[in-house]
Amino acid sequence: KTALATFTHTMAFAAFTAGGFMVGVSGYLLAKKRHEEVLKPTLKLGLVTVLISFLLVGLTGDWSARVMTEQQPMKMAAAEALYNTESGAPFSLFTVGTLDGSRSVFQIGVPKFLSFMSTGNVNGTVEGINDLQAKYVEQYGPGNYKPNIPMAYWGFRLMIGFGAIAALFALLTLWNLRRKNEIPNKKWFAPAMIWMPFLPLLANSFGWIFTETARQPWTVFGLAKTADGVSPQVGVGALWITLIGYVALYGVLAAIEVKIMLRAIKLGPDEHVAYTEPAEVGGSSDKPLAMSY
């Protein structure tokens, strides 16, 4: 169940990112009045891909949230800054907590929506951070079982926020295309298209940041802590060398890839595609067509 929920959510997000890239490249060139005949269909395809995949991201995300609540309740509690167990818990739109991370001071939320998202029942019970901390101390022994609450809370919201902005841009652009059969003649269009490839990517990134930080202090929940995964045979120097090496390698590869992609984007599609008559390659236009393998 866990693998299927996370796999479908990841694949939906991958399609969302690909659609955003298509929209960004097509829209950028169209805003410059280039290759309109070729790029209008690709823009429409990208917009439809963004909207459909955004819907799938939401559906698979809802499924993943219920699995997460069942298997890693502290992660969901941290994502919502829910400090105490509640039935009919609200979904937080904005929360201010105390510096020691023990309770919320101010909150704006959607009533009962967190319970529905987590359990499928508007009056369902969602465990809070403080209650889970006490439960885990009793179950696993002394320790701090809370992740970084602000990072989890804002990572979750930035993931949703960047994705929603991309979907909104896509919806406005597609609506204008269907209504007027032309790209929006607005000042926001060109900047929006430049940002379109990055918005899904940012949403993806903050989603992964949330996923990997909100599970702390566990490597495998309930079985192995992150602190236990450190090898005593590997020194700090080796860790630094490995980290710097990976960052440098992937940084160089990223720079090369971005340079190649930008060059291809600026060139745009070929203005004219060469067409060779069949007779010129040894065939005859008089011969009937035949299937061949």
Give the DSSP letter of residue 227: G
Q: Could you give the angle at the alpha carbon of 252 between the alpha carbons of 250 and 255, nearest 5°?
A: 105
Q: 3-state class of 53 per DSSP? A: helix
Residue 142 pLDDT = 92
Residue 120 pLDDT = 83
What is the dihedral angle through the alpha carbons of 122, 123, 126, 131, rounded to the nearest 10 degrees? 160
What is the C-alpha separation between 79 and 64, in angstroms, rounded?
Answer: 13
Residue 272 pLDDT = 58
What is the C-alpha separation between 122 and 104, in angstroms, rounded?
Answer: 22
**Do the Cβ atoms of 189 and 173 come closer than 8 Å?**
yes
Tell which residue, 246, 267, 249, 245, has the closest CA to residue 257: 249
Handedness of CA 253, 254, 255, 261 (dihedral sign): positive
Considering the entire predicted model, what is its pTM?
A: 0.80
Give the DSSP letter of residue 285: T
Phi, psi of 218 (to 5 degrees): -100, 140
Give the DSSP letter of residue 76: H
* Helices vs strands, H then E, count in the chain: 9, 6
pLDDT in single tens digits along all 293 residues of the chain: 788 888 999 999 999 999 999 988 888 888 777 777 777 888 889 999 999 999 999 999 889 988 988 889 999 999 988 888 888 888 888 877 766 666 777 778 888 888 888 888 888 888 999 999 999 999 999 999 999 988 999 999 999 999 999 999 899 888 888 877 767 666 777 777 888 888 999 999 999 999 999 998 998 888 889 888 888 888 888 989 999 999 999 999 999 988 988 888 777 776 655 555 555 555 555 666 666 55
Q: Could you give the angle at the alpha carbon of 103 between the alpha carbons of 102 and 108, nearest 5°?
A: 150
Give the burial class of 267: count Cβ atoms within 10 A of its Cβ; 0-12 exposed, 13-18 middle, 19 or more buried. Answer: exposed
**Do the Cβ atoms of 83 and 130 come closer than 8 Å?**
yes
Give the DSSP letter of residue 89: P
Q: Could you give the angle at the alpha carbon of 68 between the alpha carbons of 65 and 74, nearest 5°?
A: 115
